[in-house]
Amino acid sequence: MRNFLLMMSIGISVCSCSGEKKEIYKDPNAPIPARVEDLISRMTIEEKVGQMNQFVGVEHIKSNSASMTEEELKNNTANAFYPGFTEKDIERWTEEGKVGSFLHVMTLKEANYLQGLALKSRLQIPIIFGIDAIHGNAYAPKNTIYPTSINLACSFDTTMAYTIGRQTAREMRAMNMQWTFNPNIEVARDPRWGRVGETFGEDPYLVGLMGAQSVKGYQGDFNSTEDVLACIKHFVGGSQPINGTNGSPTDISVRTLYEVFFPPFKEGVEAGAMSLMTAHNELNGVPCHENDWLLTDVLRDEWKFKGFVVSDWMDIEHIHDLHATAENLKEAFYQSIMAGMDMHMHGIYWNEYVTELVKEGRIPESRIDESVRRILDVKFRLGIFEHPYADEAESMNIRMCDAHRETSLDAARNGIVLLKNDGVLPLSASKYKKIMVTGINADDHNILGDWSAPGEPEDVTTILEGLRQLSPETQFNFVDQGWDPRNMNPAKVEEAAALAKQSDLNIVVAGEYMMRFRWADRTDGEDTDRSDIDLVGLQNELIKKVAASGKPTILILINGRPLGVEWAAENLPAIVEAWAPGMYGGQAIAEILYGEVNPSAKLAVTIPHSVGQLQMIYNHKPSQYFHPYVNNKPSTPLYPFGYGLSYTTYDYSDLKLSASEIAKDGTVNATVKLTNTGSREGTEIVQLYIRDRFSSATRPVKELKDFARVTLKPGESQEVTFKITPDKLAFYNKQMQYGVEPGEFIVMVGPSSADDVLLKESFIVK
Ligand code: BGC
């Protein structure tokens, strides 16, 4: 009897005792489509509409209620407070089976608690818990925090993207979370935009590969309790917003959508992504959240997307209250659902208005069934019906386990880019006995990056700690500049300047502030856009004053968006771009500074000189710099896409093509010889670019089409061969038809996208 009750309570009974038709949906051995249809046939309209709705976790609401004034509570929606309703209402709706999903549930305890409420409902449909696990499940406490996506992209290591996805999935399931709102596969094209660090950079090909491997890592075979649902986002165009501000309108031609912004999403769909999030912004005059062309014509009809579409935070509401293309909320819900929306993030009124719309006959019930079918299919496939809870006792055996910590460290070592080195690096402990360390990011957990909860001291190695651990014989003198770039103390800058003179070498750790638990103080991250890309506050002054000591001064950058550090690039002997390198970032940086690790990463995004140079991308069109600026500003970036230094040197030679002429459907191999000409083992990221020389519609001056990570010992050589297949030559011609046009193609191979370092050959397509 006890066992039977247990089975009932976790919702796996296979027959009904009341003599009704067999509950196929509760049978784990029944085919999933049969389970879905059986369950849908039992659901009321209210329950179906509820499955399409999401709420933020009750603890989140409680903490907001505690921290906000009565006035704020009445009017504020941005912090997920539901005016007029309390967490008790949400708990009741959950018990009534009218909530399909929660987000921002930060603890396993709360997830299990809410799941318990859902399982009290009539049909016992479990909740799917979604969270922004952007670089590990870092937003929830006590999980492995990996480097952020822009750092990962700079490693060009797609296997690492897969591994991190897999490990994150296991840690999430150990917290009873089954859905990550990641990967962000927007193509970053404006560094003013605060979310660049969440992306894989500016190149559609690299973004597509990294995104696809992340999806595969998260989802695995998509049939076990070690898999989670991936969410490719944000569809589409928000990474090229007018003025660089998050969610502002985007006006992008259909050609540019198909050439630049769509490809990663198409690859994400092909990699099997089972959810997609729409973008805040309007696209060419139509908000993405009600854009039938995007959500139905392109996504479903063209790409055959099988998963479900979720809105972004209150963005269906914004169709009415911001974009003003719906006269009221009910109309906004109507437009969004009819365009192809499946789930609402998040809030009240949805259940009431959408139910009314169905009962009034405006939204056919069959349209609602489509969405519910997609959502339930995912819940069945992820085994949530059979495993609605996670085990508290087991959880910490998986989260932050040694293997995951090791991956985080390895990823950081692979993703940190050495931008400049006049020979001062790697540091010699015997030469530099006294080192001053300063800067806002020198001893702060900000290295964890956006979408991280503050870490426990024992789980994070700051840069200062990393240096002290690695070189105990060195005297590191720390001048604390606080964590807040906007509120630096001029006296502390002077103190650092004075101490710099007495040191053998100085390290300034500058950059942005990204931790969201101090939301209003950040300078980089979501909703944190800037009208320039300079260092904030007294940071430049600090760098200049420390460098004025005449002692070698090294700059380390911790940031998400590219920073135009022109002065440092001209005047300092070494610069390291570490992005947000995660929980062991301090160790990885110290290992690179001291040469225990040979840096190998290359920029996944161009670093412009200044904001005036925007849009500075490597794959621009041929006419972009025909007329140079008249104010003596260069038309080349500060550091180009694909660029990054190593402690060894490489020689590229003997670029050969296997054919000088091919047919339209033919292939050609490009082979290059790479030699490690330095004195250290190293990993080089060999890049292949292609240009279509003459074409019916304009083509970029070069496009990344392949790359390889090659590890060589000193003196060792290796031939690297890239296969150039028709898909690497095809494009949308003048009539927007996709295919290969005859003519000359230039093949370029080398260590970065800079024109003067690339070997070139060409071939003809007949
Ligand atoms: C962001 C999304 C995120 C969601 C849930 C929104 O503000 O744009 O990327 O997934 O919040 O946290």
CA of 46 to the centre of ligand 1 (A): 26
Number of domains in the chain: 4
At 645-669, the pLDDT tens digits run 999 999 999 999 999 999 999 999 9
pLDDT, position 58: 86
Domain assignment present for 633: no
Domain assignment present for 28: yes
pLDDT, position 75: 55
pLDDT, position 85: 82
Average pLDDT of the segment spanning 452-478: 97
CA of 314 to the centre of ligand 1 (A): 10
The closest residue, in CA terms, to atom 8 on ligand 1 is: 312
Going by pLDDT thresholds of 50, 70 and 90, the confidence category of residue 7 is very low
pLDDT, position 1: 34
Residue 672 has pLDDT above 90, yes or no: yes
At 75-88, the pLDDT tens digits run 555 456 787 788 89
CA of 526 to the centre of ligand 1 (A): 8
Residues in the chain: 766
d(CA 505, CA 555): 11
Same domain, 239 and 313: yes
Domain that holds residue 713: 650-765
DSSP string, 30-48: S-HHHHHHHHHHH--HHHH
Same domain, 502 and 532: yes
The closest residue, in CA terms, to atom 2 on ligand 1 is: 312
Same domain, 55 and 66: yes
Number of helices followed by number of strands (H, E) in the chain: 24, 26
Same domain, 314 and 384: yes
Average pLDDT of the segment spanning 194-207: 98
At 426-464, the pLDDT tens digits run 999 999 999 999 999 999 999 999 999 988 999 999 999
CA of 237 to the centre of ligand 1 (A): 15
Which of 103, 104, 181 for mutating ligand 1's site (highest number of atoms within 8 Å of CB)?
A: 181
pLDDT, position 640: 98
At 16-75, the pLDDT tens digits run 445 568 999 999 999 999 999 999 999 999 999 999 999 999 888 777 666 666 666 555
Atom of ligand 1 nearest to the CA of 234: 9
Sign of the Cα pseudo-torsion (612, 614, 619, 621, in order): negative
Average pLDDT of the segment spanning 190-212: 98
Same domain, 296 and 382: yes
Same domain, 511 and 553: yes
Atom of ligand 1 nearest to the CA of 181: 10
Domain assignment present for 629: no
- Residue 685: count other Cβ atoms within 10 Å of its Cβ: 21
Those residues with Cβ within 8 angstroms of residue 450's Cβ, 6 or more apart along the chain or in another chain: 134, 148, 197, 198, 514, 515, 516, 522, 524, 525, 526, 560, 580
pLDDT, position 247: 97
Same domain, 127 and 54: yes
The closest residue, in CA terms, to atom 11 on ligand 1 is: 313
Atom of ligand 1 nearest to the CA of 233: 9
CA of 620 to the centre of ligand 1 (A): 30
pLDDT, position 123: 98
pLDDT, position 437: 99
Q: Residue 392 belongs to a domain with what CATH number?
A: 3.20.20.300
Q: Which of 187, 229, 192 is nearest to 207 (CA)?
A: 187
Secondary structure (3-state) at 559 = coil
CA of 342 to the centre of ligand 1 (A): 16
d(CA 182, CA 146): 14
d(CA 340, CA 473): 63
Same domain, 24 and 81: no
Same domain, 420 and 351: no
Q: Which of 561, 608, 613, 615 is nearest to 242 (CA)?
A: 615
CB 163 within 8 A of CB 406: no
CB 705 within 8 A of CB 232: no
Same domain, 571 and 720: no
Domain assignment present for 592: yes
- Provide, for the chain, the percentages of residues in helix, strand and coil under a 3-state DSSP scheme, each rounded to the nearest 5: 35, 20, 45
CB 530 within 8 A of CB 190: no
Domain assignment present for 640: no
Sign of the Cα pseudo-torsion (65, 107, 169, 122, in order): negative
Instruction: Say what percent of the chain tops pLDDT 90.
Output: 92
At 613-650, the pLDDT tens digits run 999 999 999 999 999 888 878 889 999 999 999 999 99
Q: Residue 556 belongs to a domain with what CATH number?
A: 3.40.50.1700
Residue 380 has pLDDT above 80, yes or no: yes
Q: Which position among 132, 190, 203, 312 bears the catalytic label?
A: 312
Amino acid present at 187: V
Residue 372 has pLDDT above 50, yes or no: yes
Same domain, 351 and 445: no
Domain assignment present for 620: no
The closest residue, in CA terms, to atom 12 on ligand 1 is: 132
Q: Which of 716, 710, 711 is nearest to 677 (CA)?
A: 716
* Catalytic residue flag (residue 444): no
Same domain, 261 and 322: yes
Domain assignment present for 625: no
pLDDT, position 70: 62
Q: Which two tokens stand for residue 611?
A: 């904001």
Which of 60, 105, 131, 132 for mutating ligand 1's site (highest number of atoms within 8 Å of CB)?
A: 132
**Angle separating helix axes 87-95 and 108-118, nearest 10 degrees:** 50
Those residues with Cβ within 8 angstroms of residue 144's Cβ, 6 or more apart along the chain or in another chain: 136, 137, 138, 167, 168, 171, 399, 400, 404, 405, 407, 408, 583
Integer Rg of the chain from CA: 27
Domain assignment present for 107: yes
Residue 311 has pLDDT above 60, yes or no: yes
Residue 2 has pLDDT above 50, yes or no: no
Q: Which of 134, 189, 196, 188 is nearest to 165 (CA)?
A: 134
Average pLDDT of the chain to the nearest whole number: 95
Residue 4 has pLDDT above 60, yes or no: no
Ligand 1 neighbours (beta carbon < 6 A): 103, 132, 181, 233, 312-313
